[in-house]
Each structure stands twice: as C-alpha cells, then as structure tokens.
Amino acid sequence: MTRPLRTLYVALFIGVLGLLFAWSMRSVLSYQLPKQFSIIDGDLAKTFESHYDEHFPIKTLGTSLWAGLDYLLFNEGRPGVEIGEQGWLYSSEEFKAEVDGAQQVRDNLALIKGVRDELAQRDVLLLLAIVPSKSRLYPEFVGDNLTSSLRQGLYQHFLNEVRAADIAAPDLLSTLQAGKASGAMFLRTDTHWTPAGADLVAQQLSSTLKSAISLSGEPQVFVTQASSAKPYPGDLTRLLPLEPLFGHLLPPPDQLRHHTTLAAEQASGADALFSDSEMPVALVGTSYSANPAWNFAGALRQHLQRDLSNHAEDGQGPLVPMLKYLQSDELQDAPPQLVIWEFPERYLPMSNDLSAFDAQWLSTLKHPSSNRRLALSDRR
C-alpha cells in the first residue's frame, strides 16, 4: 500500500470514528436523570448505560439495515406486525394460531359467563362490546397474510356463544362495516380504532341500552371538541425500525384529530355542577377504552348522557382489568347499574397471565355450583 493510500485509509478511519463519536454524543446529551436515583448502589450508572446502549449508533444503524433488508426482500417487519397493502399494517395476533386455542376459547367463554354471574349477584347488567379485528373489518388490505382456521369464524362464534348465554352483545362488526363509507373506522398504521369508529360503536351501544333499560339519574349533556388533524405514526410502525437509513420506506403516518369530551358546564367554563353526580355506568376493557386518543369513554358519556367510571387498562388484555374490577371496593360499595365490557375478539383464543388472582376463585367463576346457577336464573 502506497503512502498516500495509507494516509487516506487512516484519514477515513479517523473520520468514521469521529462521526460515530459525534453521533454517540447525541445519546449522551439526550440522557435525562431519573426522578429518583442512588449514586451509592450504582443505579445512576445503570440507567445511563441502558440509555446509551439503546441509542448506540452502530446498534441503531445495524438494526435499521437489517429491518430494511427484511422489509425490502421479504415484506416483513419485526415479530408482531403483518404488512398489508397500500400502507396498511396489522397485528400478528389477528392471524396467528394459538397453542390450545380451541380450549382457551372455551376457558375464556366460561370466565365471561362467570363475570356475568358475579355482576348479576349485585343486580348489575353486563353489556359486552366485542370489537372485531381490524383484519376482519378491512380484509381488502390484508394482502397475502393468512388467518388461522380458528380465527376465521371467531367473531360470529363469539357473538353466538355470549348471546346464547343471555349476555347482551350488539353486532358491532355490522355497525363498523356500515360506517366505512363515511370514514376510516381503524387507523391504517395502528392496532386501534379511530375516534370515528369509537364514536360509532358508542352510538350503537347507547341505542341498544335505551331500548332495553332506563339508566338512573338525570340526563347530562356532554360536548365533544376536536383539534386539527396531526400526523400520528401508529403503534405498529414501532415494529418497523427502519430509521435512520430507510425511514422513507415507512407507511405515511395516519392523520389523527384529538377529541375531548366534557360536561357542557365544563366546556363553557362554568363550575362543574355534576362533579359528584351518580355514575350508573362502569367501563372496563383494554387500550381501546383506556387510551384517550380514541375518546371511547368520552363518546359513551355523550351518547348515554351519563357520566361513567373507566376501569380499562393498557397492555393487560380484557380479562385482567375485569377481574380486578370484580374485586374492587367500588363494585362492593357502590355497584353501578351497568357494566360495559369492551373485549377485542382477537383475545378470545389467547392465554392470560392470571397468576395474580386466587386459583380457587377463578375456578368458581368458570364452574359455578348448580345451586348458584339456579339462584341466578331465578333472579333473571
């Protein structure tokens, strides 16, 4: 190697190191001290190390390069996302086969019936809101992704089973299918529904209830306000780590308007006269109900004309929040008239970590005694 080439090689090597050092300093400068930390036991060093490792340039570049190759060559992302057509992304949970899925369906249906019985003991009505899978509502963009045989007829099977068990459950698939003509019911790059889809479901649930029962308390006026639309990269894009090399390949972000629902008095700036009003409705469910971005709880308040307590949780599935609610002081001390349980269909064949709950209690929920069943049937 001639001297000029050696000089060029060394210069390039030093240049690359310099660029990587400068880039790595971005992760150093972006580090924020945790609210609580200890210097003595090394907590501060551990949090810094974890932050730096997560943002290490070579790791970021390697991840982006590998993700780009998967995306370009195989039309694949990280485990958890299925890539459809025209920028549509789907959760893998909607397609994959589950281990012992058929048995899990039976077990979860038994728990749902047990929840119905627990609520009935307190004269609380259960309304089940089965959220159809995004792939079922938008099959035209699924592409060549195949659904497991168990999941193909899952929604209708779910609906038939709970209705046969005397659990109120409107057909929300038909409702959302009809709504597609007026706008997007689900986000293109996210697992969840849009505020418009959530609002349409809230309207359907309200209509179902008004024809069946009369909610206690005085009707209350709620007003929903919407902000201007802003780009919203959905949760499924996190499973396509194409930045920084292939960020241009990502599907364009959704446009999302943030909706806020307030009592009319609050919306007008007046004192909240109804802050201590009766809440005849409780909402339990998943991130479809917990995340304020979709405003499902707000839409229910507006269409039911009643305030409600929201016990939905992110990242727990539909069963864990409901089991927590059954054991809550609120249900024991001030049971509502109605519980709306939002339950995405894709969770029905999935197993759940219920280790936090007493095994004997869960068994009793699934297999109530004949005397208890007779007493509950007499109540109904």
CA–CA distance, 52 with 56 (Å, rounded to integer): 6
CA–CA distance, 335 with 124 (Å, rounded to integer): 7
Report the chain's mean pLDDT, rounded to a whole number.
86
Average pLDDT over residues 103-129: 98
Q: Closest Cα partner for 261 from 216, 313, 195, 332?
A: 195
Q: Say if pTM beats, i.e. exceeds, 0.85.
A: no
Average pLDDT over residues 227-235: 97
Every domain of the chain and the residues it spans = 3-55, 91-379
Contact 171, 208 (CB under 8 A): no
CA–CA distance, 374 with 372 (Å, rounded to integer): 5
Q: Which of 155-159, 215-219, 247-251 has the highest mean pLDDT?
A: 155-159
pLDDT score recorded for residue 275:
47
pLDDT score recorded for residue 273:
46
DSSP H helices in the chain: 3-29, 43-54, 57-74, 101-120, 134-137, 149-152, 154-164, 172-179, 195-210, 264-267, 287-290, 296-304, 319-326, 329-333, 359-366, 370-379
For tokens 């029905």, the residue is 348
CA–CA distance, 139 with 131 (Å, rounded to integer): 15
Using one digit for the tens of pLDDT, what is the confidence trace for 20-34?
A: 566 555 555 555 655
Contact 284, 312 (CB under 8 A): yes
Average pLDDT over residues 230-248: 86
CA–CA distance, 280 with 247 (Å, rounded to integer): 48
Please check the confidence at residue 274 and state whether its pLDDT lies above 50.
Answer: no
* Residues designated catalytic: 190, 192, 287
Average pLDDT over residues 175-193: 98
pLDDT score recorded for residue 255:
98
Residues 6+ apart with CB under 8 A from 175: 200, 201, 204
CA–CA distance, 197 with 175 (Å, rounded to integer): 9
Q: What is the DSSP letter of 318?
A: T
Please check the confidence at residue 78 and state whether its pLDDT lies above 60.
Answer: yes
CA–CA distance, 130 with 167 (Å, rounded to integer): 12
For tokens 């970021």, the residue is 60
